[in-house]
Structure 1
Amino acid sequence: MAVPARVRRTARRSRRFELRATALYFALLAVILALVGAAARTAAAAVVHRPAWAIALALMAVGAVMVGCRGKRRISAARIARRAAVALDEATQTAVEALDAAPAPAVGLVPAGAGTCGGLLATDPTVLLPETVPEAPADTVEIAYEALDPDEFEQAVAELCRRDGCLDVDVVGGAGDLGADVVARTPDGRSLVIQCKRYCDGNRVGSQDLQRFGGTCFTVHGADVAVVVTTSDFTAPALDYAEQCGIVCVDGPQLQGWQEGTGPRPWEAQPSVA
Structure 2
Amino acid sequence: MKTAAAGCGLLLVFLAVYWSAVWLYLVSALLLGGLGTALWWLWRTDRLVRGRDRAWRREEAVNAGRRTLAEVDGMTGTEFEELVASLCRRDGCTDVRRVGGANDNGADVVGSLPDGRSVVIQCKRYAPSSTIASRELRDLLGARVHFGADLAVFVTTTRFSGPSEKFALQHGILAVHRDHFGLWNNGTSLLTLSEVNGKGQGDSRHRGRWKRTYGR
Is the pair's TM-score, using the shorter chain for normalization, greater than 0.5? yes
- Contact preservation (8 Å) 2:91, 2:189: no
Deviation at 1:164, TM superposition (A): 1.1
SS of 1:218's partner is helix
For the aligned residues, what is the CA RMSD?
Answer: 2.2
1:272 aligns with 2:198: yes
Alignment correspondent of 1:182: 109
Alignment correspondent of 2:175: 249
**Structure 2: how far apart are the matches of 1:220 and 1:180?**
9
Instruction: Structure 1 unaligned segments of length 5 or more: list them.
Output: 1-122
- Contact preservation (8 Å) 1:139, 1:259: no
- Contact preservation (8 Å) 1:225, 1:267: no
Alignment correspondent of 2:6: none
- Percent of pairs identical after alignment? 38
Taking structure 2 as the reference length, what is the TM-score of the superposition? Answer: 0.63
1:238 aligns with 2:164: yes
Alignment correspondent of 1:197: 124
1:171 aligns with 2:98: yes
Deviation at 1:125, TM superposition (A): 6.1
**Structure 2: how far apart are the matches of 1:264 and 1:200?**
24
1:139 aligns with 2:53: no
Q: Which has the higher contact order (CA 8 A, sep 6+)?
A: 2
**Structure 1: how far apart are the matches of 2:171 and 2:150?**
12
- Contact preservation (8 Å) 2:180, 2:193: no
Deviation at 1:178, TM superposition (A): 1.3
Instruction: Structure 2 unaligned segments of length 5 or more: list them.
Output: 1-36, 202-216
1:128 alignment partner, one of 9, 19, 42: 42
- Contact preservation (8 Å) 2:109, 2:121: yes
Larger Rg: 1
| Higher helix proportion (structure 1 or 2) | 2
Aligned length: 150
- Contact preservation (8 Å) 2:106, 2:143: yes
Taking structure 1 as the reference length, what is the TM-score of the superposition? Answer: 0.51
SS of 1:168's partner is strand
Deviations 1:194-222 (A, max 9, x none): 000000011111111011222x1332111
Q: Describe the shift of the 1:228–1:267 C-alpha distance in structure 2 as closer, same or farther (beyond 3 A).
A: farther
